[in-house]
Structure 1
Amino acid sequence: MTDLRMTKVQKHARNREMLTAAAQSVLLQKGFAKTSLREIAAAAEAPLGTLHYYFNDKSELMVSAFRAHQKEFIEGIRRIAAGPGTVPEKCRKVAASWSEKLTLNSSAYRIWYDLGNQALFEPDLRPVVREMEGFQVAALTELVQSGEGLGHQTTLRIRDYYLPMLGGLFHRFLQRSIFGDPVDPEQQERAFVEVLDLLLMELDGVSAR
């Protein structure tokens, strides 16, 4: 008979996920600066001491919430990258996916920028920002490479040029949505496609040399 009882490790992981989801909900509504551990505990319907048992402080909770959201986002890119179609077709699928996510749930991305801003003042948050940036670069690399792997210099270009461009678009469309300005989903998608097309054109130029 299968043992339906959860192990301590499974229970610990489940409880951290539950608290992370509650933290994500409150952080998205109020931001890091205005969120208290007591509010997160109330959202999770858990004693405040439970938060302190599973997380050292609010910063660790924010990192956990950020990682959970980033993991889903990056896995979405990788699923498309591993799927059928040419590289340009996959890039367009990714652009369409990003536009859809921003249109349906733009506020879910506020935590990215909140964490990045907070990391300017809290050194303990900087490693996770670098870590997730590395995952984003790796996912974009998987998306745009065909057959042969990309060289180190091209990967640096993705990190230092194209990733900031895409991040800037996310920030701009997120800001417009939150401020109540009308945002055309097709405009969002075209903007992402244009940046990815620039990257593909650069890669074509490199491969032709």
Structure 2
Amino acid sequence: MTAAEARVDRAEKRQVDKFELRRQELADAALQTLSELGYARTSLREIAQNSAFSHGVLHYYFRDKVDLITYCVRRYKAECVRRYDRIVTDSDTAAQVARDFGAGLAATMAEDGTMHRLWYDLRSQALFETSFREDVLEIDATLQDMVWRIVSRYAELAGAEVITSPAVTYAMFDGQFQQALLHHLAGDPGAGPRLDAAARQLLTMVVPITR
């Protein structure tokens, strides 16, 4: 590559980086409106009215509402995955994995309940909207892998084996989380503690320790 070509390449990369940073900024600004109103009641115009950005700016950086919502959810869920992966790397005992996983699920449900509600809304819409399905399936797969890493680490530290498949394991934990989220959003103060306890119990069920 010549010096001139290298300069052009660097300039193009800077332009891409600036575009992506702007998308992230717009997505972060839109998250509050999206998480409060959900998919059906949110439009790019509605988001613009509740942020400092114009409808035209949003439309320049995102093709449509689907593009914006999937980008937002994908970005948030990626952060969730990084958070739980720290449990895998930082835990030295099975008990620590169970404690941190259960507490982490309860905490994120309480702190980010509206964001998780948006995810479940998006996943439900994918049953009807074909434009969502590929993104939703990909995000769902990353969450399944995340749960499997947690459970596998628990099994490794416990000296036992996981007796359920990755898909079944994920479905069990996800079902508990969604049920707890519904109760939490309904104002049930016991939803968090029950989710914490249920997650720990599920770990012992999918990784039975016989010794």
Q: What range describes the TM-score normalised by the shorter chain of this pair?
A: 0.7 to 0.9
What is residue 68 of structure 1 aligned with on the other side? Answer: 75
Q: Provide the identity percentage.
A: 29
Aligned AA (1:95): G
Aligned-pair CA distance for 1:156: 7.4
Distance 1:189 1:29, change over 3 A: same
Aligned AA (2:125): Q
Q: Verify: 1:139 aligned to 2:143, yes or no.
A: no
Asked if 1 retains the 8 angstrom alpha-carbon contact of 2:73 and 2:119, the reply is: yes
Aligned AA (1:79): R
Give the whole-Å Cα distance in 2 for the aligned partners of 1:120 and 1:179.
25
Deviations 1:131-188 (A, max 9, x none): 122212222222232598xxxxx797221x2212211121111111212233253222
Asked if 2 retains the 8 angstrom alpha-carbon contact of 1:115 and 1:125, the reply is: yes
What is residue 151 of structure 1 aligned with on the other side? Answer: none
TM-score normalised per structure 2: 0.82
Q: Which runs of 5+ in 2 are unaligned?
A: 1-12, 157-161
Aligned-pair CA distance for 1:67: 0.6
Q: Verify: 1:158 aligned to 2:157, yes or no.
A: no
Distance 1:156 1:66, change over 3 A: farther
Aligned-pair CA distance for 1:116: 0.6
5 Å-filtered alignment, 1:34-113, equals 34-113=41-120
Aligned AA (1:28): S
Give the whole-Å Cα distance in 2 for the aligned partners of 1:155 and 1:43.
48
Aligned-pair CA distance for 1:195: 1.3
- Which range moves more in the overlay, 64-73 or 103-112? 103-112
Aligned-pair CA distance for 1:30: 0.6
Give the whole-Å Cα distance in 2 for the aligned partners of 1:84 and 1:166.
20
SS in 2 for 1:32: coil
5 Å-filtered alignment, 1:107-122, equals 107-122=114-129
Give the whole-Å Cα distance in 1 for the aligned partners of 2:163 and 2:51.
41
Aligned AA (2:166): I
TM-score normalised per structure 1: 0.83
Aligned AA (2:118): I
What is residue 8 of structure 2 aligned with on the other side? Answer: none
Asked if 2 retains the 8 angstrom alpha-carbon contact of 1:99 and 1:188, the reply is: yes
Give the whole-Å Cα distance in 2 for the aligned partners of 1:75 and 1:16.
20
Give the whole-Å Cα distance in 2 for the aligned partners of 1:185 and 1:156.
25
Q: Which runs of 5+ in 1 are unaligned?
A: 1-5, 149-153
Distance 1:156 1:192, change over 3 A: closer
SS in 1 for 2:92: coil
- Which range moves more in the overlay, 76-85 or 181-190? 181-190
Rg comparison, structure with higher value: 2
Aligned residues: 193
Asked if 2 retains the 8 angstrom alpha-carbon contact of 1:88 and 1:197, the reply is: no
Aligned-pair CA distance for 1:97: 0.8
Aligned-pair CA distance for 1:89: 2.2
